[in-house]
Structure 1
Amino acid sequence: MSHPEITVVLADDHPVVRSGLRALLSSTPGVRVVAEAVNGREAIQAAAAYRPTVLLVDLQMPELDGIDATRAVVAVAPSTAVLVLTMFEDDESVFAAVRAGARGYILKGAGPDEILRALRCVAEGGVIFGPSIARRIDALLSPGPDDLPNLPFPQLTEREREVLDLIAAGLANGQICDKLGLAVKTVGNHISSIFAKLQVADRAQAIVRARDAGLGR
């Protein structure tokens, strides 16, 4: 069975980086680069115009950085998955990107196979982090000995835990919206954040984790 074409907007202010990524993606069957951007504003405009499957974006760009661009793209083109490709691996950058709505975060030292794997993952609705980033997130989000040991997934906000509980109970996104009185986009953002914090790739994995912790009953 053939998979849907993955369309990509590349956003990076370094021509050499864009050229390398374009060469990699253009030689990959089922992937097509539809536009390039050299700053955050152009990234937002391209995402709004082309509605790509994936926006592959750097964090440090002129005029508007990758964090603000990610936040805007999630708002104007919610069907576009944002994958951050950057040299920055500090905690502040990682969590700022996740809070802005990025579905993936990998470093520029990643090999071609890792970049393509991450691209396909976010294109299919998953969440992915490079190995060193994933370890950092796990360490930062792991509860300490005094952190509410009886509360499942203390790294989640109260609202995110409510959403996860309803997911585990088998409710679809629309039903969760009705139950909690939230907009579709808001629920989608909560789910993206939940997947990132729990390091799960899809809804099925989230349900298994949640039910193992006693949610969804």
Structure 2
Amino acid sequence: MSNGYKRKVIIVDDHPMMRKGLAQTLDNELEFDVVAQFDRAEEAIQKFEELSPDLMIVDISLPGMSGLELVKHLTARDEEVKILVVSRHDETLYAERVIRAGAKGYVMKLEAGEVLVKALRKIMKGGIYVSSEVSEKLLMGMARGQKDMNESPIDQLSDRELEVFELTGKGNSTREIAEKLHLSIKTVESYRARIKTKLNLENATELMVHAVKWAESEDADL
């Protein structure tokens, strides 16, 4: 930037190569300074006040606390923090969720580096960055005052239900999900019951099969 001030950036992603790629992209731009990289949300929370970042780049799927929960946690502590979610997950499913949670933008990991920089610059100017397709979907939803009638059943899941659904699809047991999300086993079972109802699934076996298929389709986009 012309005044020589660099925007301090923290990257939170559990894939070392992804963190390295994001950092290199930003290091090539004069206005950004990557001051820290973390692979867990909990580490970012611990260092947040000390580092006082201008920007944060956050992945959704993290060990322990999810990126979505991290966004909610940080924006509750500091309304001014600007967060861009960069994830491999389907933007049409997650972009609206992260914006509602307090993030200022969403970029797919498959996008080129210049898209990342463009998104960060727009966010720093006070804007919100999503793709034109998602922007149109969000505006249509606002205009109707209702959820899109054509939404997929997965869209009906709450943020926490979606986390439980994804972890189920990755082969985690109820106890493992409870430990990862810091919930009781009874609470996880309650979420699973709600998921079955919303997705019109008869039993735990159908839930597992459905979740595994969905998780595999998500991974196929990597």
Question: What is the TM-score of this pair, normalised by structure 1?
Answer: 0.61
Residues 1:107 and 1:90: Cα distance change in structure 2 (over 3 Å): closer
Shift of 1:10: 0.2
Q: Per the alignment, do residues 139 and 21 of structure 1 end up closer, same or farther by CA in structure 2, a change over 3 Å counting?
A: same
Higher helix residue share: 2
Matches within 5 A, 1:39-58: 39-58=40-59
1:125 is displaced (CA, Å) by: 1.8
State the match for 2:124 in structure 1.
Answer: 123
- d(CA) in 2 for partners of 1:67, 1:9: 16
Contact 1:5 1:31 in 2 (8 A): yes
Q: Which whole-Å CA distance do the structure 1 matches of 2:91 and 2:24 have between them? A: 28
Does the alignment pair 1:138 with 2:139? yes
CA-CA distance at 1:3 after TM superposition: 6.3
5+ residue gaps, structure 2, are: 146-222
Secondary structure at the counterpart of residue 128 of structure 1: coil
The answer on whether the counterparts of 1:53 and 1:81 sit within 8 Å (CA) in structure 2 is: yes
Alignment partners' CA distance in 1, 2:73 and 2:21: 26
Superposition TM-score, scaled by structure 2 size? 0.59
Residue 36 of structure 1 deviates from its aligned partner by 0.8
Verify the 8 A CA contact 1:122 1:128 in the aligned structure 2.
yes
2:12 is aligned to 11
Structure 1 residue 104: Cα displacement? 0.7
Residue by residue, what CA displacement relative to the aligned partner does 1:70-124 show, whole Å, maximum 9, x if unpaired?
A: 0111122333201111112255522221121001111111111110011111122
Aligned length: 145
Q: Secondary structure at the match of 2:144?
A: coil
Following TM superposition, where does structure 1 have runs of at least 4 consecutive aligned residues deviating by more than 3 angstroms? Answer: 138-142
Q: Structure 1 unaligned segments of length 5 or more: list them.
A: 145-217
- Provide Cα deviations, 1:120-169, integer angstroms capped at 9, x if missing partner: 1112221111234323323443428xxxxxxxxxxxxxxxxxxxxxxxxx
Q: How many Å separate the matches in 1 of 2:131 and 2:12? A: 19
The one-letter amino acid of 1:81's match is K
Identity across aligned pairs (percent)? 26
SS in 1 for 2:35: strand
Other-structure match for 1:102: 103
Q: Distance in 1 between matches of 2:47 and 2:76?
A: 14
Q: SS of the residue aligned with 1:64?
A: coil
CA distance in 2, matches of 1:65, 1:18: 16
Secondary structure in 2 matching 1:129:
coil
Cα distance in 2 between the residues matched to 1:105 and 1:3: 27
Matched to 1:117, the amino acid is: K
Structure-2 residue corresponding to 1:65: 66
